[in-house]
Amino acid sequence: MIGNDIVDLGQAAKESNWQRKGYLDKIFTAEERFLISTAGDPGIMVWLLWTMKESAYKVHSRETKIRTFTPGCIACSNLILLSEIATGNVNYEDQNYFTASSIHENYIHTIAAQHKTVLKEACIRISLYDPLNVDYKSTQPDCVSHHGSYLALIYLNRHPPGSPQSAG
């Protein structure tokens, strides 16, 4: 099973005031708040950690059928950040998830799975999101995420129509 999350950085800048008092304390662990406070671009770090948590939550909730999202109880660790890519781990209710992220000028996208091999098998397709166009559903993605102007589709062990990106 795989999870994925995408954040449109322009939309996030308009809709979220992550710098307001108490916001980071509700969502991030002390270690994560340290990463944010020492990052070259704290906003990018906020949304990177958020997408890691959200993508792991999606896997976890599909496996357990429990749909309670409590980001403060989801901990990111072992973050390795290299320019436009990142890898890390997410721990949620004693389950460990591996993550792979891509950081672009306009969005951050993360995939998560319990096994690293699943991340390598993932075929990623990111496109502009039109809420009126649901044609992508006919391609039967294994996981869907959208935010603002972007739609992220994940396919496991197969390629969707078109020319997708590979995560590997």
Q: Please tell me the predicted confidence (pLDDT) of residue 166.
A: 43
Number of domains present in the structure of the chain? 1
Q: Please tell me the predicted confidence (pLDDT) of residue 65.
A: 81
CA distance 149 to 145: 11
Q: Please tell me the predicted confidence (pLDDT) of residue 98.
A: 98
pLDDT tens for the chain, 168 residues long, are: 999 999 999 999 999 888 889 889 999 999 999 999 999 999 999 999 999 999 999 999 988 887 777 777 899 999 999 989 999 999 998 899 999 999 999 999 999 999 999 999 999 999 999 999 999 999 999 999 999 999 999 999 876 666 444 444
Residues 6+ apart with CB under 8 A from 151: 6, 126, 127, 128, 129, 136, 144, 145
Picking from 40, 22, 39, 43, the residue whose alpha carbon sits closest to that of residue 31 is 39
Question: What's 112's DSSP letter?
Answer: E
Name 108's bridge partners.
7, 103
CA distance 53 to 3: 10
The one-letter amino acid at 85? I
Q: Please tell me the predicted confidence (pLDDT) of residue 162.
A: 62
CATH number for the domain spanning 40: value is 3.90.470.20
Q: Write out the residue range of the structural domain in which residue 109 sits.
A: 3-166
Residues 6+ apart with CB under 8 A from 87: 78, 79, 80, 98, 99, 100, 101
Would you give the end-to-end CA distance of the chain in angstroms?
Answer: 16
Question: What's 57's DSSP letter?
Answer: H
